[in-house]
Amino acid sequence: MKNLLITALLFISASLWAQSVTSPSGRIQVDFHLSDEGNPSYSVLFDNKEVIKPSPMGFRLKQGIDLTYGFKIIETKTRSVSETWEPVWGEVKEITDNHNELRIHLQQYASDSKMDIVFRVFDDGVGFRYEFEPNQKLAYFQVTDEATSFCLTGDHKAFWIPGNDDSNEYYYSTTKISGIDTRLCDGKGIGTHKIIDKHCIQSPVMLKTDDNIYINIFEAALSDYPAMLLDVNVNNYTLKAHLAGSATDVKAFMQTPCKTPWRTILISDNAADILASKTILNLNEPCKIENTDFIKPQKMVGVWWEMHVPNKSSWNYADKFNIKLADTDWTTLTPNGRHGANTANVKRYIDFAAENGIDGVLVEGWNVGWEDWAGNWKEEVFDFVTPYPDFNVEELSSYAKSKGVNLIMHHETSASATNYERRLDSAIGFMKKHGYNSVKTGYVGWIIPRGETHDGQWMVQHYERVIKKMAENGIMIDEHESVRPTGQHRTYPNLMACEAARGNEYNAWSIGNPPEHETILPFTRLMGGPMDYTPGIFKIKMANYQAGNTCQVHSTIAKQLALYVTMYSPLQMAADLPENYNLYKDAFQFIKDVAVDWDTTKIIEAEPGDYITIARKAKGTENWFIGAITDENKRTVEFYLDFLDPDKTYLATIYADGKDADWITNPESYSISTKKVTSGSKLKIKLAAGGGCAVSIYPIK
């Protein structure tokens, strides 16, 4: 930790009813208010203009205590922090945490409860949370409702998905706040589709005001507490915390001392600042893993897409239904002839990875239990240690090792978290024995313990237990169908990526993701951390696998390349099949070259729902990579390369949409060109409808 500067400034006693705290630049101001009845509230100004009107705070508890009124201020404190820290991996090498803090000690005399509210104000946003001291009247308490609200100043444009505490796998709707109605959302392809209320949406929500102020409402450092969804009042434009559900009428079981997650409001008049914000990371705790040497950003291929595309492979070894894990002799089952995770096929992927400098091979469907894994709400589906008869784990792990490739473990739990917890030690033992150092987990289906939800407190604790246990064992993790991340990869950087959104796979078997989807995800789901989006699909149309199939990736090939830059993750999959990459080796070169860890990131231009252009410098090198994507509209991007070193000349390789490219009619058309560039050069590139472009820039020695 460098330049740590903490100044305890003020100790003010009793009876203060309002106090302000501003960001270091002064552009953002938070006012805390306590009404005559003792109701706490806050408001936020940006450039002296209100963006959040006075908004309620507090909780309602099961034991009849109402922590929304009747408070008195005991004391307030302020302090300022200015420090820099280095993430283990990330979009930038160094992060600055520069904020002013206001802490208010409150006491509710009627119940003899104490509660602190802490605000941290950064130049691009605000975080606030509630903290409860130990040894007070409320040693244990049960939250049924959090009153925290965000009273907006108008009918802003909103980018939202429905509030479902079991899934984030939706594409975005863009409406005015007054037009939010989750019944309009298509649920096709989502096993856990459940609309909580027509006016309940997921956080983060991205907003844009009529006078072009961008506001992002989310949370940071979610731990031992339910995720925050938002109830929308479409008449007065108020969003209110809606805690994800549990098996009881209590949303959060608390024991003091404890803290809630931070509620975050990012604000800027430039959309690019929202993407560049590090406030959510800054609100998370520093790294708790002592030795992080085992954590390595990487690229992977996988026996994976071939199970998602039509007519190709299966996870299951046999076509049989109604199997009991404990009673089945898997060697006696009749193989279906389509099992993807067979030894020969896995070797083919290992060879492809080795030939192309790809670090890892994910193998799904290697273990017994996939015959009736989904949809039965079944407790004992997988044991995570028994390979199918045609998957020779010893042979494959030594083959992978001989080729310098890592096998990546897959633990689909089918949402039976109880079963996974019981078997976690032996599952990790199996991984260590066979040399696996990373795992992709999955939670498809309704949660067991039955009644709990993917985003509720019990599951939030479960994911945390698994992340910590993997960290203790030197294992990196990629979670699918988990709660969406809230920046805790700062604390546990072995959490490389999550899905927790609608990934590329939807394009293989549903109406898919509209071309604007990838221009919204960085403003929403990715605010909390990297996504395993699985880009890089080159064979765009599923008719390629099955005559008459109309599913397709809603993108051109050049846009698939650009996603490696615009959709940041330290774990990136080259998701298509080796044989498809071999058809387009020149385009695949970009995937081989692109980095997964960065020194510098420049958001060149961005507008949610429309376009994103980002340049990044690969960690420890002078090599730059640029990705530009557009929605369903054509677009010409034009920008200076003024971020390059002025003393160097570089070779730029431009992977652009072909002249006739179009995501529907001609998605596989691209053109590759090279040119010498310097920091004074300007690039002007045409993006097709649903298209994009990727550029690699290497210094010429």
Binding site for Ca ion (CB under 5 A): 480, 499
Contact in structure between 140 and 258 (CB atoms under 8 Å): no
How many CA atoms are closer than 13 Å to the CA of 1, on its beta-carbon side? Answer: 11
Task: Tell me how far, at minimum, the Cβ of 596 lies from Ca ion, in Å.
Answer: 21
Q: Which is nearer to ligand NOJ, 77 or 338 (CB)?
A: 338
Q: Does 444 participate in binding ligand NOJ (rule CB under 6 A)?
A: yes
Q: Binding marks (x or -) toward ligand NOJ, 345..364, rule CB under 6 A?
A: -------------------x
474 contact, one of ligand NOJ, Ca ion, none, CB 5-8 Å limit per kind: none
What are the two backbone dihedrals, phi and then psi, of residue 523, each rounded to the nearest 5 degrees? -85, -10
87 contact, one of ligand NOJ, Ca ion, none, CB 5-8 Å limit per kind: none
Contact in structure between 569 and 496 (CB atoms under 8 Å): yes
Q: Which is nearer to ligand NOJ, 51 or 309 (CB)?
A: 309
Task: Tell me how far, at minimum, the Cβ of 292 lies from Ca ion, in Å.
Answer: 28
How many CA atoms are closer than 13 Å to the CA of 682, on its beta-carbon side? Answer: 5
- 499 part of the active site: no
166 contact, one of ligand NOJ, Ca ion, none, CB 5-8 Å limit per kind: none
Residue among 457, 101, 31 at smallest CA distance from 282? 101
Q: Three-state SS for 300?
A: strand
Candidate list 505, 516, 518, 668, residue with the active-site label: 505
Q: Which is nearer to Ca ion, 192 or 256 (CB)?
A: 192
Binding-site size for ligand NOJ (CB under 6 A) equals: 8
DSSP at 454: T
What are the two backbone dihedrals, phi and then psi, of residue 604, each rounded to the nearest 5 degrees? -75, -45
Residue among 496, 487, 483, 494 at smallest CA distance from 532? 496
Task: Tell me how far, at minimum, the Cβ of 307 lies from Ca ion, in Å.
Answer: 13
Q: Binding marks (x or -) toward ligand NOJ, 251..270, rule CB under 6 A?
A: --------------------
Q: Which is nearer to ligand NOJ, 287 or 498 (CB)?
A: 498
Q: Which is nearer to ligand NOJ, 167 or 555 (CB)?
A: 167
Beta-sheet pairing, 438-442 with 406-412 = parallel
Q: Does 505 participate in binding ligand NOJ (rule CB under 6 A)?
A: yes
Task: Tell me how far, at minimum, the Cβ of 190 lies from Ca ion, in Å.
Answer: 9
Task: Tell me how far, at minimum, the Cβ of 444 lies from ligand NOJ, in Å.
Answer: 5
Task: Tell me how far, at minimum, the Cβ of 311 lies from ligand NOJ, in Å.
Answer: 17
157 contact, one of Ca ion, ligand NOJ, none, CB 5-8 Å limit per kind: none
Task: Tell me how far, at minimum, the Cβ of 53 lies from ligand NOJ, in Å.
Answer: 40
Positive or negative, the CA dihedral 80, 82, 87, 92 is: positive
Residues near 188 by Cβ (< 8 Å), separated by ≥ 6? 510, 511
The DSSP line for 19-42 is EEEE-TTSSEEEEEEE-TT--EEE
Q: Binding marks (x or -) toward ligand NOJ, 453..482, rule CB under 6 A?
A: ---------------------------x--
Task: Tell me how far, at minimum, the Cβ of 189 lies from Ca ion, in Å.
Answer: 10
Q: Does 690 participate in binding ligand NOJ (rule CB under 6 A)?
A: no
Residues near 74 by Cβ (< 8 Å), separated by ≥ 6? 13, 14, 105, 106, 107, 114
442 contact, one of ligand NOJ, Ca ion, none, CB 5-8 Å limit per kind: ligand NOJ
Residues near 400 by Cβ (< 8 Å), separated by ≥ 6? 350, 361, 406, 407, 435
Contact in structure between 412 and 442 (CB atoms under 8 Å): yes
CA distance readout (Å), 7 to 4, 389, 668: 10, 64, 58
Q: Reduce the secondary structure of 595-636 to three states and give it as a string.
A: CCCEEEEEEEEEECCCEEEEEEEECCCCCEEEEEEECCCCEE
Q: Which is nearer to Ca ion, 535 or 667 (CB)?
A: 535
Q: Which is nearer to Ca ion, 265 or 415 (CB)?
A: 415
Q: Does 510 participate in binding ligand NOJ (rule CB under 6 A)?
A: no
657 contact, one of Ca ion, ligand NOJ, none, CB 5-8 Å limit per kind: none
Residues near 26 by Cβ (< 8 Å), separated by ≥ 6? none
Task: Tell me how far, at minimum, the Cβ of 447 lies from ligand NOJ, in Å.
Answer: 15
Q: Does 535 participate in binding ligand NOJ (rule CB under 6 A)?
A: no
Q: Which of residues 29-88 bind ligand NOJ (CB under 6 A)?
A: none
Query: Which residue of 146, 219, 455, 499 would you call a contact of ligand NOJ, by CB under 6 A?
Result: 499
Q: Which is nearer to ligand NOJ, 260 or 482 (CB)?
A: 482
374 contact, one of ligand NOJ, Ca ion, none, CB 5-8 Å limit per kind: none
Q: Binding marks (x or -) toward ligand NOJ, 398..437, rule CB under 6 A?
A: --------------x-------------------------
Q: How far apart are CA 336 and CA 317, in angstroms?
A: 6
Most distant CA atoms of the chain, gap in Å:
77
Q: Does 442 participate in binding ligand NOJ (rule CB under 6 A)?
A: yes
458 contact, one of ligand NOJ, Ca ion, none, CB 5-8 Å limit per kind: none
In the sheet that holds 624-630, the strands lie side by side as 598-607, 611-618, 624-630, 692-699, 650-657, 670-677
Positive or negative, the CA dihedral 526, 529, 532, 538 is: positive
Contact in structure between 272 and 603 (CB atoms under 8 Å): yes
Q: Which is nearer to ligand NOJ, 281 or 498 (CB)?
A: 498
Q: How far apart are CA 561 and CA 462, in angstroms?
A: 35
Task: Tell me how far, at minimum, the Cβ of 442 lies from Ca ion, in Å.
Answer: 7
412 contact, one of ligand NOJ, Ca ion, none, CB 5-8 Å limit per kind: ligand NOJ
Residues near 645 by Cβ (< 8 Å), separated by ≥ 6? 622, 679, 699
Q: Which is nearer to Ca ion, 58 or 536 (CB)?
A: 536
Q: How far apart are CA 608 and CA 275, in angstroms?
A: 10
129 contact, one of Ca ion, ligand NOJ, none, CB 5-8 Å limit per kind: none
Summarize as ranges the residues that interact with ligand NOJ (CB under 6 A). 304, 364, 412, 442, 444, 480, 499, 505
Active site residues: 505
